[in-house]
Amino acid sequence: MMDWINFTPLQSLLGGLLIGLATAFLWLLNGRIAGISGITAGTFISFGPERLWRLAFVLGLILSSWVWLLFVPLPEVQVTGNYWLLAIAGLLVGFGARLGSGCTSGHGICGLSRLSGRSLVATVTFMTVAVVTVFVMRHVV
């Protein structure tokens, strides 16, 4: 059944367009793929200018909520307060994204728009597993 109350087609489409613009600019200006896990992990293992632009990108991401706050209050955020779950999920997301060479941005946005078959396989895999995980957590356990 559709959740019409929480459905935000306009904001989500506009947000997606902004994400697309950020991806497009990073490619057209810097010649680099906007994959968040690769960029973030790269801040620890790359050197010189390759490290500098990555740090700058991550800093922009980290500061975005403060820039948002200059204009409007932050949107509602609901996240589990279970620190065990957050730690385990964080580990899995970090380990999995790195081992799988990408996450929702690198494979899901960049890879699919580059028509990469490898990224399509990765995206279908993590989407399916995530859907099954939510199903088990909400409807089975």
Partner 1 sequence: MRQHWFLSASAFVCGLLFGLGLLLAGMANPAKVLGFLDIAGLWDPSLALVMVGGIVVAFIAFTLSKKMPHSLLQAKFNWPEATAVTSPLLIGSTLFGLGWGLVGLCPGPALVLAGSGALEGLMFVVFMLIGFRLADLVQARLS
Q: Does 47 bind partner 1 (CB under 8 A)?
A: no
Residue 84: what residue type? W
Q: Does 73 bind partner 1 (CB under 8 A)?
A: no
The contact mask relative to partner 1 for 50-69 (x = CB under 8 A, - = no) is: --xxxxxxxxxxxxxxxxx-
Of residues 85 through 104, those in contact with partner 1 by CB under 8 A are 85-101, 103-104
Q: Does 70 bind partner 1 (CB under 8 A)?
A: no
Q: Shortest gap between Cβ of 51 and partner 1 (angstroms)?
A: 10
Rounded to the nearest 5°, which phi and psi values hold at 35? -105, 115
Q: Does 75 bind partner 1 (CB under 8 A)?
A: yes
Q: Shortest gap between Cβ of 5 and partner 1 (angstroms)?
A: 8
Of 82, 101, 96, 81, the closest CA to residue 35 belongs to 101
First-to-final CA distance of the chain: 21
- With CB under 8 A as the contact rule, the residue among 46, 47, 73, 110 that binds partner 1 is 110
Distance CA 36, CA 39 (A): 5
Q: Does 46 bind partner 1 (CB under 8 A)?
A: no
Tokens 């613009």, located at residue: 21
Burial class (CB in 10 A: 0-12, 13-18, 19+), 60: exposed
